[in-house]
């Protein structure tokens, strides 16, 4: 039988989430090997306990009542690099810090992940949300995701197609009870040029092909300026990153949103509203822009919670608050956007410990 690591009681999940919010876990365990993970899953199964797989906690909203089940903190570490012709295959186990993986890839001169610098959390969480920033998404470079299938506790290698990636979406997100990501393998380009698809990033350079490390530094600067880098000395960074996803709408809805924006006097001409055409003909709107133009100013405070002073899409916990306060603010923000633009914002973080979806 696989060894089960020590089970700890009374762990406050607020200490394991970037928001610093949330109640206690009924039971908490850290696994460092797949055998330990399997033992922990069997333990929960035998007792009929729900399981929460915990990575870096940077995309989690945990209920004040905590989590009535077993929290399994994923601590499998290790990074491996292999050459395959012109491609470098970089494998990171789930418990590696994501930014350490990006830093390593940039240090090795491997192009493909540089724009994903400074994203908090662990490597194993990145395919779940199909993490993306500044024109790159992990799905663009993923070669393989190794998972443990909870249905039979067997390992499986999944191709990117099998992961069914979309914008901030994947099979793992849609079936949260089914798979545990064990490792991710990326196909990167040795000596490749950095990606400069995102205009504010491109505009920072006068030369056409800055080095990967200069691009990484610039991404870190951009994120820091928006308080999207976890930094204990920056109170605006105590968030779960973007609290809502950017809404994806059809052309009819876009026109309706534009009509409402002009009618409300928010814009004078339609090209003033940021929006991006997707390959499938739909349009991605900018939730942060909608929030601000719905009358929620950056830096808004409501007691212990508020809106980031540097990005309207991040809700912030200033300390001493409760998850209920944050959710009340989120509902309010959502209602204002709905009233002004007729658009429903959907939360981006994973909600834990709630009987029903709280938003």
Output the smallest distance, CB 269 to ligand EPU, in A. Answer: 15
Size of the site for ligand EPU (CB under 6 A): 18
Among 248, 113, 60, 223, CA closest to 167? 248
d(Cα 5, Cα 40) in Å, to the nearest integer? Answer: 8
Our finding on whether 311 is near ligand EPU (CB under 6 A) is: yes
- Kindly tell me which of 57 and 288 has the beta carbon lying closer to ligand EPU: 288
- Kindly tell me which of 30 and 245 has the beta carbon lying closer to ligand EPU: 245
Site string for ligand EPU, 133-152 (x = CB under 6 A): xx------------------
- Token reading at 143: 């070669």
Which 279-308 positions form the footprint of ligand EPU (CB under 6 A)? 286, 288-289, 292, 298
- Kindly tell me which of 141 and 311 has the beta carbon lying closer to ligand EPU: 311
Output the smallest distance, CB 272 to ligand EPU, in A. Answer: 10
Our finding on whether 220 is near ligand EPU (CB under 6 A) is: no
Sign of the torsion angle spanned by Cα atoms 235, 288, 16, 12: positive
- Kindly tell me which of 155 and 298 has the beta carbon lying closer to ligand EPU: 298
Single out the residue of 12, 30, 189, 245 in contact with ligand EPU (rule: CB under 6 A): 245
Among 313, 314, 240, 254, CA closest to 284? 254
Q: Which one of 40-48, 208-216, 310-318, 327-335 is the stretch in contact with ligand EPU (CB under 6 A)? A: 310-318
- Kindly tell me which of 5 and 20 has the beta carbon lying closer to ligand EPU: 20
What DSSP string runs through 5-29?
PPPB-SEEGGGGSTT----EEEEEE
| Catalytic residue (one of 168, 223, 322, 340) | 168
Kindly tell me the burial class for residue 128, based on how many C-beta atoms sit within 10 Å of its own C-beta (0-12, 13-18, 19 or more): buried
| Catalytic residue (one of 105, 170, 195, 242) | 242
Our finding on whether 241 is near ligand EPU (CB under 6 A) is: yes
d(Cα 178, Cα 152) in Å, to the nearest integer? Answer: 10
- Kindly tell me which of 143 and 298 has the beta carbon lying closer to ligand EPU: 298
Sign of the torsion angle spanned by Cα atoms 289, 292, 293, 296: positive
d(Cα 57, Cα 28) in Å, to the nearest integer? Answer: 14
- Residue pair 38/44 in contact by the 8 Å Cβ criterion: no
Our finding on whether 312 is near ligand EPU (CB under 6 A) is: yes
Q: Please confirm, yes or no, whether 217 is among the known catalytic residues.
A: no
Exposed e or buried b per residue across 249-288, where buried means at least 16 C-beta atoms within 10 angstroms of its C-beta: beeebbeebbeebeeeebeeeeeebebeeeeeebbbbbbb
Q: Please confirm, yes or no, whether 170 is among the known catalytic residues.
A: no
Single out the residue of 188, 228, 258, 315 in contact with ligand EPU (rule: CB under 6 A): 228
Our finding on whether 242 is near ligand EPU (CB under 6 A) is: yes
Q: Which residues bind ligand EPU (CB under 6 A)?
A: 133-134, 198, 228, 241-242, 245-246, 274, 286, 288-289, 292, 298, 311-313, 348
Q: Which residues are catalytic?
A: 168, 242, 348
């Amino acid at each position: 039988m696989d060894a089960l690591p020590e089970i700890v009681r009374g762990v406050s999940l607020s200490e394991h989430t970037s928001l610093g919010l949330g109640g206690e876990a009924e039971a908490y365990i850290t696994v460092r090997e797949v055998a330990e993970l399997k033992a922990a899953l069997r333990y929960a199964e035998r007792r009929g306990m729900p399981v929460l797989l915990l990575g870096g906690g940077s995309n989690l909203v945990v209920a004040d009542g905590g989590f009535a089940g077993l929290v399994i903190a994923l601590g499998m570490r290790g990074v491996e690099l292999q050459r395959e012709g012109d491609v470098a295959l970089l494998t990171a186990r789930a418990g590696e810090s994501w930014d350490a993986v990006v830093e390593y890839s940039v240090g090795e001169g491997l192009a493909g992940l540089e724009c994903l610098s400074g994203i908090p959390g662990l490597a194993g969480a990145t395919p779940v949300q199909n993490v993306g920033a500044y024109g790159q998404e992990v799905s663009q470079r993923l070669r393989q995701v190794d998972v443990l299938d909870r249905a039979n506790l067997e390992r499986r290698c999944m191709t990117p197609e099998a992961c069914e990636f979309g914008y901030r979406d994947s099979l793992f997100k849609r079936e949260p009870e089914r798979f545990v990501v064990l490792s991710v393998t990326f196909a990167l380009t040795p000596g490749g040029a950095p990606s400069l698809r995102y205009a504010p990033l491109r505009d920072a350079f006068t030369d056409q092909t800055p080095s990967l490390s200069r691009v990484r530094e610039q991404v870190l600067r951009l994120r820091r300026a928006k308080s999207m880098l976890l930094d204990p000395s920056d109170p605006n960074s105590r968030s779960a990153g973007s609290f809502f996803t950017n809404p994806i709408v059809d052309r009819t809805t876009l026109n309706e949103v534009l009509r409402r924006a002009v009618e409300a006097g928010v814009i004078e001409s339609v090209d003033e509203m940021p929006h991006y055409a997707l390959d499938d003909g739909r349009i991605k709107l900018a939730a942060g822009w909608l929030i601000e133009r719905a009358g929620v100013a950056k830096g808004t405070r409501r007691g212990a919670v508020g809106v980031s002073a540097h990005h309207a899409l991040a809700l912030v916990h200033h300390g001493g608050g409760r998850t209920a306060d944050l959710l009340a603010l989120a509902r309010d923000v959502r209602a204002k956007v709905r009233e002004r633009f007729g658009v429903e914002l959907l939360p981006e973080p994973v909600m834990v410990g709630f009987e029903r979806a709280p938003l």
